[in-house]
Every structure is written in structure tokens, then in C-alpha cells.
Amino acid sequence: MTFINGRARAHLEGRELVGKHLWEAFPELVGGPVWDAFRRVMSERAPTKVTFHNETVGGHLEANVFPSSNGGIVTFTRNVTEQVRAQEELRRLAYQDPLTDLPNRRSFWEMTASALASGEPLAVVLLDLDGFKHVNDTFGHGAGDELLREAATRLAHALGSDGTLARLGGDEFVALISGASVGASAETTARRMLGSLGERSFLVRGHVLPIVASAGVVAATAGEYDSPEKLLANADLALYAAKAAGGGVVRTFTARDREEYEARRLLEDEVERAALCGEFELHYQPQVRLADGMLVGAEALIRWRHPERGLLTPAVFLETLEASRHARTVGAWIIGEACRQAASWRKAGFELRLGVNLFAEQLVAGDLVEVVEDALRSAGLPAAALEIELTENIALRQQSAMLILWFLSLADARERIEDWRCHYNEDRPHTALGGLTPRAFANQAVTARELA
């Protein structure tokens, strides 16, 4: 060594190394990456660079090695500890969840891809905290973060050495399990992890919070999956099945889950088309007064005139329509169309009260009163002739429901709360009258009057 600057001398605590051979001064480098770099430059006569950690210096060093004109080598070495630590921090931020210190989505993705490439059997357990949004909404995001950190600790402890736990984001966690017997053990491990959350309540900022979770499990044999994306997608379908079963349970993915999902997607696409193309229509269920058999009203029932499957009842599509972006628009169309039909019957001499059902989205939108008033005004129908019906579940779930109905009552529109199930239950006694089209209903009305 021929020169050492002041900063290097400070790190070396005054050791005098000028004039000494590198391997004499730092014997721990012999046989390591620096040794290999020197041998490579001597043999190939081409420059190279190597970064290494040295305990004597107490940091990371970068050696630039060049062949010299006299057949030897020249080395320039500098301390790069700060740069290496900055890079390590960037990597930590890129691969570690900052809230829980668990591996993040990117890290899980790469670990899973590597495991799939190795061809070893593996399983994925996807977990989701049931009702976590309520915690954030009620107690704030700070409390939610505390709960997530505690949940991560419990889940990691329950998983133990059986696999690696990661946080995908929000309240979703995922465990990667590998080994010869993962198919048999993954579901057991998932139940143990769920049990760690439900065995005792969480204490967060003075609040006792009982939390449970749902889990979807998917096991992969060698060569069955070629990407983490497909694996996680199937785990998500199993998780969906667990939540549909009421939550707090474990479900393992089967081919039937994928078939049902594809059927749901197809139905969603077709409902979208039906709403845009006007394929829905209204049929009317007569309402007869039991005391004297007098026809006093009707209920508007939505049907779907499917271009291939024919006339479909709400049992096939109503849940999908309610969850779609078209629920509000279709709901307004139902009210307007029903009012026009009721006005038409009144002109024909049948002063009947007509009931229409609401979607939950119509209550959330905030314009229900205006929609009803516009429909009544456009049809020239008195408010007393319209009956607004909603399920008790919707009424209890929507805080604004009772306030909206109060406004409607001021407009003299009638309201009634009942369980929607009975509207679409094909087994109830009076369905012998069937769901009638406007023309058939008029005929039925005449018959009912003649029988009165």
C-alpha cells in the first residue's frame, strides 16, 4: 500500500499500513471476493470492481482494481458504507410492509414465483379480517393500525416455522407454506391462524374488539401453476366462499369455485347489457282484499327478457343487479314505468294502489324523493296511489331510510316495510294469480270486479 488518506487513517485508528502488503495488513481478505478480484485482474489484465464488508474497517468498502503497466495491479479503495445502507433501506422499503414489518405484496410475489419455479409442492393461505372496516370507521385509522400490528403478531406466531407470513395490504394477510405434505396441513394451519385471532379479544386504545377472520386455501402440486397471480386468484375465490358461508371459517379452493366465479362474471356482463339495452320489463302481481275478493292494488315485479334464455325471474339476477352500477337507474325506471302504468289503469277506470320495491342504492343516492315526485308528476298520478316498499334489512342498514320515507309521507305517498323475500317467493298462496303483463292484468282486473 502506497497511500492512505486522512479519513481512512481515522477508521484504521492510526494503524500505519503504508509500505505493507495488502494481504499482510488484512489477512482476513485472503480467499475472499477481493482475493478473487485480484487474481482475475492479474490473469485477464482487465479492470474490475468489488464491494465487500470488512470488520477491521467497520463498514462496506469498494475496491476498483486495474492492471498496471509494470505487470502488477493498482487498487483504489473507498468506504461506501453510507451508500450500501441507503440501498439496503430502499430495498427494505420495497419489500417490507412498513406497518407490520412483514414481507409485503412484492416480496410475497417473488417468494412464490421462486417456490413455483423450484417445482416443490406449496400452499397459499389468504386471510381477511371480518368487519375490519367498522373498526376504522368507528375508532379511527390509528386504532385500525394498532389492531393490524397485533393481528400480524398473532398470525405470525400461529404460523411459526410452517411458512412465511406477508401482508398484501389493508386487512389482507397471506401465508406461503411449502413442503411435501402441504395439501394435508395447510387447512389445519389456516384454522390455527384463525384461532389465534378469535381466542381472545383485541384491546385497542381502551376498546375491547372481538375480531375474527376468514381464510381461503389453495394447494399447488408440482407444475400445476405457472404464476403467483393464478395461485392468489384461486385463493381469493376460496376466501370469497368462506365469507359467503358467514365468515370466520376456512375454505379450500376447488374447481367448482372457479366455475361459479366465471358464471357470476358472465351474469354481471349480461346484466350490464340488459340495463343498457332495456331488456328489463315489469309484470304486475294483483293484490286482492281477502274480505270480499275485491282487487285493490298490484305490485310491480321486475322480469328480464333475456334474448337467449327467455323470461327470467328475479331469483336469477336480482342480487347481481342490486350490486351493479345500474341499480339506481333501473330503480328509477321501475318507479317511472309503474307510475305510468298505474295512471293508464286509472284512465281505464281501475283506481288501484301500486307497490314498487326499492334498491338499497336508491336510498344511498339521496335523490329518491325527487325521483318519486317527478314520476308522479309526469304520470299525473296522485301520491296516495303509489306504495313504496323496501325490505326490513335495507331499512335497518340504511340510516337515511326512515328520514326519506318521512319526506315521502309528507308528499302523501304510502309506505310499507316488509320482507322482500315474500315478494319473490314462488310458493306463497296467492301466486296462483301469477305475474301479469299490463294487458293481462287489465283482463284480470275485470274478472276480479265481476267476481266481487
State residue 427's pLDDT score. Answer: 40
Distance CA(295)–CA(288), nearest Å, equals 4
CATH 3.20.20.450 fits 268-451, yes or no: yes
Count Cα atoms within 13 angstroms, Cβ side, for 195: 9
User: Into which CATH architecture does domain 96-253 fall?
Assistant: 2-Layer Sandwich (3.30)
Report helix angle 228-244 to 105-118, nearest 10.
110
Q: Which of 94-98, 123-127, 349-353 has the highest mean pLDDT?
A: 123-127
Average pLDDT of every residue of the chain: 83
Residue extent(s) of CATH 3.20.20.450 domains in the chain: 268-451
**Phi, psi dihedrals of residue 72, rounded to the nearest 5°:** -95, -150
Q: Cβ distance 249 to 214 under 8 Å?
A: yes
State residue 216's pLDDT score. Answer: 96
In the chain, the percentage of residues whose pLDDT exceeds 90 is 49
pLDDT tens per residue across span 306-341: 999 999 999 999 999 999 999 999 999 999 999 999
Least confident of 172-176, 331-335, 383-387: 383-387
Q: What is the DSSP string of 311-363?
A: EE-HHHHHHHHHHSTTHHHHHHHHHHHHHHHHHHHHHTT---EEEEE--HHHH
Least confident of 24-28, 87-91, 426-430: 426-430
Does residue 239 register a pLDDT over 80? Answer: yes
| Global confidence as pTM | 0.64
pLDDT tens per residue across span 110-129: 999 999 988 888 999 999 99
Q: What is the DSSP string of 364-394?
A: HHS-HHHHHHHHHHHHT--GGGEEEEE-HHH
Q: Which fold has domain 6-84?
A: Beta-Lactamase (3.30.450)
State residue 54's pLDDT score. Answer: 79
Residue extent(s) of CATH 3.30.450.20 domains in the chain: 6-84
State residue 166's pLDDT score. Answer: 97
Residue extent(s) of CATH 3.30.70.270 domains in the chain: 96-253
Does residue 26 register a pLDDT over 80? Answer: no
In the chain, the percentage of residues whose pLDDT exceeds 70 is 82
